[in-house]
Every structure is written in structure tokens, then in C-alpha cells.
A and B are shown apart, each in its own frame.
Chain A
Amino acid sequence: DIQMTQSPSSVSASVGDRVTITCRASQGISNWLVWYQQKPGKAPKLLIYTASTLQSGVPSRFSGSGSGTDFTLTISSLQPEDSATYYCQQADSFPITFGQGTRLEIK
């Protein structure tokens, strides 16, 4: 199975800050990488797919990059509504696996 490791596990930042979350795959997955945002009591929400493609309706302050084993999710200017847990997911092969999540808190 492909292991997905996110860092940091949690981060606290201020409104307007630039925040970067990383995700590392245990083996190369090309660009088969998806990012989700999950708020308490809600289902995950799709943000980015194929590593860098922004889902329709997602604010442009979110961006993704990377290929192979190392990926990043960047929020260019943090907003209060971005407080959530973020997950990466590999779609290269079954079983589908998720990172352990990164909890983002607004200071």
C-alpha cells in the first residue's frame, strides 16, 4: 500500500498569512494527488485534484503543486473560513490512501 504522510500535523496562523502543507507519498504517484478540506461535522470537500487543478468554485488563494512523491497545498492569504482539517489522498492505485490530516487553526 502507498503510505501518505502529511506535515505538519497541525498549524496555527494568522489571517493574511501564507500557509503551506506538505504531503509525501511512500512511492511515486505521478500527479495522482487530491486535496480535501474538512470542517467539523461535515463531509470532506474537494479542493484540488491531479496535484494542481483547482476544483470549480474553490477560491484561487488555494493552490497545489508537486509530482512524484512530494506535494504541497498552499493557501496564499489565509481567511477565517479556512480553519479546517486538510487531507491529501493518492489516486495512483488501490487501495486508495489518505494522509493523516493537517489541522489548521486561525490565531
Chain B
Amino acid sequence: QVRLVQSGPEVKKPGASVSVSCKASGYTLTTYDLSWVRQAPGQGLEWMGWIRPYNGNTNYAQKFQGRVTMTTDTSTNTAYMELRSLRSDDTAMYYCATYSSSYGWYDPWGQGTLVTVSS
């Protein structure tokens, strides 16, 4: 069974950095592409970027360029998303999701990691 399990909730102060992990089980991470999508409270889905674990290629949304880094550790079958210079409007649920480049869908999704940015 293909599954993504994310790390636990985080509370950070403005200006800090956060790293969220996403561990894949039931498949090898390098088999599929992966993205990070966030959702602010009561809001819609916002694409942050994409990584191809096979070769480490990335594509980040312009909004997050320079503040986000997506990486993978193939030895532990885990993906990571680091977001720096946090602001209060970065408070959101962050999801990782497996991306099918053949069909364009995201499935499965991780359970989500709530990141709260507050002074």
C-alpha cells in the first residue's frame, strides 16, 4: 500500500525556518515525482513546487523562489521541504503528494503537517 507519512506539527517564530518531512512507504521514492502543496486556514490549495527524486530536479513556484528548498533522501525514502524566513501568512497545512507525470494527478497525499507562525 502506497503511503506518505509526514512529520508532526510545528510552531515557529517569524523569521525562522521550518523543515517538514514526508516518508514514503510501499514504494521507492525515486519511482514517482513529488510535490508540496499548502493550504492556509479556510483557504484553497496552493502549489509550492515539484521534485523528481530520481535526479533531484526541482521546479518551484515563483512565489517561493529563494525561500524554499525541496530535497529527498533516497536512503531513508524520505522527502523534505524547508521554508525559510517564515511570516505569519505562512501559517498553513503543508501536504506532500505523489505526482503522476503521465496523468497529472496527485495521489496519494500525506496526512498534512500544520505549521503555525506566531510571535
Contacts and interface: CB of A to CB of B under 8 A. Distances in A.
B45 interface: yes
B112 interface: yes
Interface in A50-107: 50, 53, 55, 87, 89-92, 94-101
Interface residues on A, range: 20 to 34
Contacts, number: 59
Contacts of B105: 34, 46, 49, 55, 91
Most buried by A among B106, B111, B112: B106
Interface in B75-114: 95, 97, 100, 103-107, 109-112
A49 B103 contact: yes
B16 interface: no
Given A43-B95, A87-B45, A98-B44, A55 B50 contact: no
B44 A94 contact: no
A22 to B, nearest CB: 16
Interface of B: 35, 44-47, 50, 59, 61-62, 95, 97, 100, 103-107, 109-112
18 contacts: A34-B104, A36-B106, A43-B95, A43-B97, A44-B106, A46-B105, A49-B103, A49-B104, A49-B105, A50-B103, A55-B105, A55-B107, A89-B45, A90-B104, A91-B103, A98-B45, A98-B47, A101-B44
